Structure 1
């Protein structure tokens, strides 16, 4: 993205990932740490049931790609990490979501992309589709278009979304052009943000693709690991 995003609002919360029984980090292994203590990776601290599993996961490329991010995550999921993870999601879906946004914006007086996921934001932080517990995940988002009036109805019974009401209205009112996308993002951990993003890679391409969504359902279900 050529221009930096503008964050209109962000729920500055620090959530704790629910603890669970320790499973061997290697996705293909189902061993659970009970009486026998697992060995932890010296760099990132995640656990494997044996050296064989650690070596296999490293050679397979999964732990090799996750070790650095897991080490960073040990100190907490900071605001900077949350924001960079949100942008990572947007980059993956933009070729579908941005034309979808333009299509529906033309048919209304203004609105925003509403991107929701029933997964934790941190699940999108890792490059492979494996979470911090070594479990395979099917990372997906539900994308729809929401007007300020529709948001008032939704926000009426959702406390976390209600907090973003003023920021969403402000962002929609300040962006009448087709150059930017207003996105309301919500994840299962409760993290919510409103961000204004420049349309890319090219506004003309997105305008041309927008017509593809005229006769399509009013929502998209996007699997990030298949895009």
Structure 2
């Protein structure tokens, strides 16, 4: 078994809000490499998810299609496109935040200078399983275009007035969120609250990357003239 990478985030609280959202499988199998539909397909022996119409497609997808890099993420979500294990959910959030932290850390530091202590509220209209895959392709071989994250910097007052008013169940994290916002080290950390379409919510902290001085400069360079209420990132953009 492969050793998990070191954690980027320290998770304080996780919960499931029970939103119902699992994509239905397509009619007929799809080859992960050529995208052709076939009645009988080969299956990757490692993840037991990726399917292929022939051996050549499987070999090409492993080498050129990057399945070698994505295989472990498909094994985690399985053929049903769901993450059941709590540790796997935390690791998926950890990996996802790792892909965006160089953009959002300067954003958080810049916002904190004008709004005061607060946190990053990161949400997506996709499920955690969909967002966690290394490639923009689901367990059925279908493309998952426009996998976007919407990032807000909120104070506790804004969380109460906007987020909890819209979804009262989010108040479940209010106590731990307040503790995190009141106690994090502004020079070294940020507080993160993630919410996905499937109802998974994770609250945690992460070290600033790059360091606070660089984040502050980058925040001024990239965000000082922006009037947008939120930062939107597509995780598949290179």
Give the TM-score category using the shorter length: 0.7 to 0.9
Report the RMSD for the aligned CA atoms in angstroms: 2.8
Select 2:45's aligned residue among 42, 50, 54: 42
Which ranges of structure 1 fall in alignment gaps of 5 or more residues? none
Give per-residue Cα distances to partners, 1:77-110, cap 9 Å, x unaligned.
4222211221222222122211111111111232
**Alpha-carbon deviation of 1:72?**
4.3
Q: How many residues align?
A: 224
- Give unpaired runs (5+ residues) of structure 2: none
TM-score normalised per structure 2: 0.80
Q: Which of 153, 162, 166 is the equivalent residue of 1:157?
A: 166
Tell me how far 1:160 sits from its aligned partner.
4.1
Residue of structure 2 in register with 1:204 after alignment: 213
| Alpha-carbon spacing, 1:58–1:195, altered in 2? closer, same or farther (3 Å) | same
Cα distance in 2 between the residues matched to 1:2 and 1:16? 30
What's the counterpart of residue 192 of structure 2? 183
What TM-score results when the alignment is normalised by the length of structure 1? 0.84
| CA shift for structure 1 position 6 | 2.7
Distance 1:117 1:25 in 2: 27
Aligned to 1:99: 106
Instruction: Return 39-48 or 90-99, whichever deviates more.
Output: 39-48
Structure 1 residues 24 and 92, CA, compared in 2 at 3 Å: closer, same or farther? Answer: same
Task: Name the CA distance, whole Å, in 2 between partners of 1:13 and 1:218.
Answer: 25
* d(CA) in 1 for partners of 2:8, 2:74: 26
Change (3 A) 1:80 1:13: farther
Alignment-derived partner of residue 115 in structure 2: 108
